[in-house]
Amino acid sequence: MDRFLALRIFNAVVEEESLIGASRKLALSPSAISKNLAALEEELGARLLNRTTRRVSLTEAGEAYYERTARLLGDLEEADGMVSRMEGAPRGVLRVSAPISFGQRHLAPALPDFRAQHPEVVVQMFLEDRVVDLVAERFDLAIRIANLRDSSLVARKLASNHRKIYAAPDYIARHGLPVTPSDIEQHALVTMPPGSPLLDLTLTRGDEVRSLHLLGDIQLNSVEGVLAACLAGGGLAVLPSYMVCDHLIAGRLVPVLPDYTVPDTVIQAVFPSSRHLSIKVRAFIDFMVARFSPMPPWECVDRMPAAAPKAELVEAD
């Protein structure tokens, strides 16, 4: 029995949750998968997996064995990565986690250019609005729009994330344009649901600082949903700059309280501090930093009309 191959097969079966999935991942026949698993269990003198017709699950012994062998294979991959950094071009599978909206708008369209520069890298990008466990879920890195809190991670800034309050011209025509932060309380709001950190907003103008807690009558759990409802005239919404430029240029959105600023958050690439930075991860981060510098493509300061029409001010309802 090839012990290293057997370990790779065992880990692949656990991660794919089936023998067929492991067969596809490793390009081995199902019979080879079964044969190596049986040989491994026989040598260890313990059953590692419970098998059914549809899936497999770990036994208690299998869980303990997987925890150790996954770490062992990860260390070996890091060692391979160290050699690759010294000897070769970026290659292999790159697993990236990213927020849905930012990933769809600005990361996914960049992947063909990245692959053109690094054709031996296969990119697996998972778009989901949750904070993944990079180590447990085997991600090489994640793109996050937040300030780093986890001390076990290292971050590299890709760009700043500017936020402002916006409304559709139709809504402003019906309800008026807020002039002060206090006016916002009299308006309909489109926000995330309770519990979201995006509900707390600090507005600053010179020495004036106002803190607001915004909870709308329309609440959506995705920023794309918030944008859609705002565009439809549902109310005021706090939106990031990376998704509003085209709507501002086309006149579909109007800035609210434009003289007030909101503290920026950071769009950054994060990866575990315990890992050596592999050449494929470094190449991906360097590519994105270059793509979003010196000014990200979603910032439209230079593309705004010279004199945008002002919304008509009417009394708020």
Closest CA to 145 of 268, 2, 42, 58: 268
pTM: 0.68
Percent helix / strand / coil, the chain, rounded to 5: 40, 25, 35
Domain 3-85 belongs to what topology? Answer: Arc Repressor Mutant, subunit A (1.10.10)
Residue ranges per domain, the chain? Answer: 3-85, 89-161+265-301, 163-263
Confidence of residue 135 (pLDDT cuts 50, 70, 90): confident
Fold assignment, 163-263 = D-Maltodextrin-Binding Protein; domain 2 (3.40.190)
Matching CATH number, 89-161+265-301, of 3.40.600.10, 1.10.3810.10, 3.30.460.80, 3.40.190.10: 3.40.190.10
- Do 163-263 and 89-161+265-301 have the same topology in CATH? yes
Q: What is the pLDDT of residues 230-250, one digit of tens each?
A: 999 999 999 999 999 999 999
Kindly indicate the confidence band of residue 79, based on its pLDDT and cuts at 50, 70 and 90. Answer: confident
Amino acid letter, residue 38: A
Q: Report the range of poorest mean pLDDT among 27-41, 214-228, 291-305.
A: 291-305
Of 156, 159, 175, nearest to 167 (Cα)? 175
Over 80: is that where the pLDDT of 300 sits? no
Quickly state the pLDDT bin for 145 (edges 50, 70, 90). Answer: very high
Over its C-alpha atoms, the chain yields an Rg (Å, rounded) of: 25
How far from the centroid of its chain's Cα atoms is residue 213's Cα?
Answer: 25
pLDDT band for 21, please (50, 70, 90 cuts). Answer: confident
Exposure pattern of 175-202 as b/e (b: 16+ CB <10 Å)? bbbbeebeebeebbbbbbeeeeeebebe
- φ, ψ dihedrals at 33, nearest 5°: -60, -50
Token output for 286: 């360097």
Give the C-alpha separation, 249 to 246, whole Å. 5
Range with the largest mean pLDDT of 84-88, 98-102, 137-141, 303-307: 98-102
Residue 93 bridge partners (DSSP): 122
Nearest to 145 by CA among 182, 184, 106, 118: 106
Most confident of 52-61, 174-183, 273-282, 294-303: 174-183
